[in-house]
Structure 1
Amino acid sequence: MTFSIAARCAETGETGCAVTSSSICVAARCAFAGPNGAVLTQNVTNPALGPQGLALMAAGRSPQETLERLLAGEAAPEYRQLLLIDGQGRTAVYDGDNALGVVGRADGVDCVAAGNLLADAGVPQAMVRAFEQSEGPLAERLLVAMEAGLAAGGEAGPIYSAGLVVARPNESWPVTNLRVDWGEAPITELRALWTRYAPQLEDYVTRARKPDAAPSYGVPGE
Structure 2
Amino acid sequence: MARRERANDTKARNAASRITGFGRARRQSRPTLQPASQATPVATYSIAACDLDAGQWGVATQSKFLAVGAVVPWAEPHVGAIATQAYANPRYGPEGLSLLRAGLPAEEVVARLTAADDGRDQRQLGIVDREGRSASFTGAECLDWAGGRTGPCYAAQGNILVSAETVDAIAETFEGSSGPLAERLLACLDAAQAAGGDRRGQQSAALLVVEQDGGYAKLSDTVVELRVEDHERPLEELRRLYRLHEALFGETPREEWLTVDDALANELRERLAKLGYDGELEEAFNRWAGNVNLEERVDGVAEIDPVVLEELRELS
Normalised by the length of structure 1, the TM-score is 0.88
Are positions 1:2 and 2:44 aligned together?
Answer: yes
The structure, 1 or 2, with the larger RCO (C-alpha pairs under 8 Å, 6+ apart) is: 1
Q: Which amino acid aligns with 1:174?
A: T
Q: Which residue of 2 aligns with 1:97?
A: 140
Structure 1 170/64 Cα, relative in aligned 2: closer, same or farther at 3 Å?
farther
**Number of residues paired by the alignment?**
211
Q: Which moved more, 1:166-175 or 1:114-123?
A: 166-175
Q: Deviations over 1:119-159 (max 9, x none)?
A: 01121111111112222210000000000000011111211
Q: Return the alpha-carbon distance in structure 1 between the equivalents of residues 178 and 192 of structure 2.
A: 17
Query: Which ranges in structure 1 are unaligned for 5 or more consecutive residues?
Result: 204-213
Q: Which amino acid aligns with 1:20?
A: Q
Q: Deviations over 1:149-193 (max 9, x none)?
A: 000111112110000011114567422111000000001111111
Are positions 1:174 and 2:215 aligned together?
Answer: no
Return the offset for 1:67: 1.0
Are positions 1:30 and 2:72 aligned together?
Answer: yes
Query: Which ranges in structure 2 are unaligned for 5 or more consecutive residues?
Result: 1-42, 215-219, 252-285, 296-316
Q: Is the 8 A contact 1:104 1:123 kept in 2?
A: no
Return the offset for 1:202: 5.6
Are positions 1:106 and 2:149 aligned together?
Answer: yes
Q: Which moved more, 1:185-194 or 1:69-78?
A: 69-78
Q: Return the alpha-carbon distance in structure 2 between the equivalents of residues 62 and 109 of structure 1.
A: 13
The alignment partner of 2:291 has SS state of coil
Are positions 1:17 and 2:59 aligned together?
Answer: yes
Q: Which moved more, 1:105-114 or 1:146-155?
A: 105-114
Structure 2 counterparts to residues 1-222 of structure 1, below 5 A: 1-35=43-77, 36-169=79-212, 173-201=221-249, 216-218=289-291
Q: Return the alpha-carbon distance in structure 1 between the equivalents of residues 113 and 147 of structure 2.
A: 21
Q: Is the 8 A contact 1:17 1:165 kept in 2?
A: yes
Q: Which residue of 1 aligns with 2:311?
A: none
Q: Return the alpha-carbon distance in structure 2 between the equivalents of residues 159 and 136 of structure 1.
A: 27
Structure 1 185/77 Cα, relative in aligned 2: closer, same or farther at 3 Å?
same
What RMSD over aligned residues (CA atoms) do the two structures have, in Å?
2.0
Q: Is the 8 A contact 2:63 2:198 kept in 1?
A: yes
Normalised by the length of structure 2, the TM-score is 0.63
Percent identity between the aligned chains?
Answer: 38
Larger radius of gyration: 2
Q: Which amino acid aligns with 1:68?
A: A
Q: Is the 8 A contact 1:13 1:87 kept in 2?
A: no
Q: Return the alpha-carbon distance in structure 2 between the equivalents of residues 24 and 116 of structure 1.
A: 16
Q: Is the 8 A contact 2:134 2:151 kept in 1?
A: no
Q: Which amino acid aligns with 1:198?
A: E
